[in-house]
């Protein structure tokens, strides 16, 4: 039977929630990024990594990509969560910036829109978001994106994981 592991890096909880939904749907193992060094990948056929996008960078993805050479022959996928709607230009740009063309050819990628949680962010991130809001206001005025980031929101959806679950079930 195909054995799958989901490793996730999460700060405010969205990526963890998606990782839990995936592990429930696939009845597979789940590990937090902090426990990555205790993980042995040998017994798994499929390994999924999930990280959140921080100013265009997928958190933890560098580590996951550095493991890829020893995961040769296994099925690999990366999912990223972010506040931007799926299909927005910033998301395709993030994939291009975080993975090389070669990596993208080997590793399947998925994006899940999540939201923002100002309550659970650390102070540096709250300050960064405040600078981002000011920048948006200056460049776009009262745009939809500007209005969206004014306060916390949660638009994570369990249905969003279906293509990833399907990908894992395909032999
Ligand atoms: C400082 C900061 C920068 C962010 N940058 C982006 C971004 O570039 N693109 C995006 O879509 N979302 C961005 N977000 C939103 C987060 O990616 C989103 O809230 C994510 O799901 C958080 O994951 P977590 O709850 O697992 O920590 C940013 C959030 C913070 C706090």
Distance 162 CA to ligand 1 centre (A): 22
- What DSSP letter does each residue of the chain carry, written as one string? ---EEEEE--SSSHHHHHHHHHHHHHT-EEEEGGGGGG---TT-SEEEEEEEEETTEETTHHHHHHHGGGGTTSEEEEEEEESSPTT-HHHHHHHHHHS-HHHHHHSEEEEEE-EE-TTTS-HHHHHHHHHHHHHHHHHHSS-HHHHHTTS-EE---GGGGHHHHHHHH--
| 53 Cβ closer than 6 Å to some ligand 1 atom | yes
| 3 Cβ closer than 6 Å to some ligand 1 atom | no
| 84 Cβ closer than 6 Å to some ligand 1 atom | yes
| 136 Cβ closer than 6 Å to some ligand 1 atom | no
CA distance 138 to 96: 27
Q: Compute CA distances 107 → 129, 149, 159, whole Å.
A: 30, 31, 22
| 10 Cβ closer than 6 Å to some ligand 1 atom | yes
Q: Which pLDDT score, from 0 to 100, does residue 2 have? A: 84
Distance 168 CA to ligand 1 centre (A): 25
Distance 165 CA to ligand 1 centre (A): 23
Ranges of residues in the chain whose predicted pLDDT is under 50: none
Q: Which pLDDT score, from 0 to 100, does residue 158 have? A: 98
Q: Which pLDDT score, from 0 to 100, does residue 94 have? A: 98
Q: Which pLDDT score, from 0 to 100, does residue 9 have? A: 98
| 163 Cβ closer than 6 Å to some ligand 1 atom | no
Q: Which pLDDT score, from 0 to 100, does residue 85 have? A: 96
């Amino acid at each position: 039977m195909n054995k799958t592991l989901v490793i996730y890096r999460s700060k405010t909880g969205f990526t963890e929630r998606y990782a839990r939904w995936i592990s429930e749907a696939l009845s597979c193992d789940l590990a937090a990024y902090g426990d990555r060094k205790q993980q042995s990948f040998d017994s798994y056929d499929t390994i999924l990594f999930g990280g959140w996008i921080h100013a265009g960078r997928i958190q933890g993805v560098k580590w996951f990509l550095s493991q890829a050479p020893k995961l040769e022959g296994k099925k690999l996928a990366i999912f990223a969560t972010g506040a931007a709607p799926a299909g927005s230009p910033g998301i395709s740009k993030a994939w291009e910036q975080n993975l090389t063309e070669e990596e993208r050819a080997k590793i399947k990628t998925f994006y899940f829109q999540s939201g923002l949680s100002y309550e659970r962010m650390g102070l540096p991130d709250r300050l960064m978001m405040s600078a981002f809001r000011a920048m948006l206001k200056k460049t776009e005025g009262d745009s939809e994106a500007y209005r969206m980031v004014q306060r916390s929101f949660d638009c994570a959806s369990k249905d969003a994981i279906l293509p990833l679950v399907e990908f894992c079930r395909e032999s």
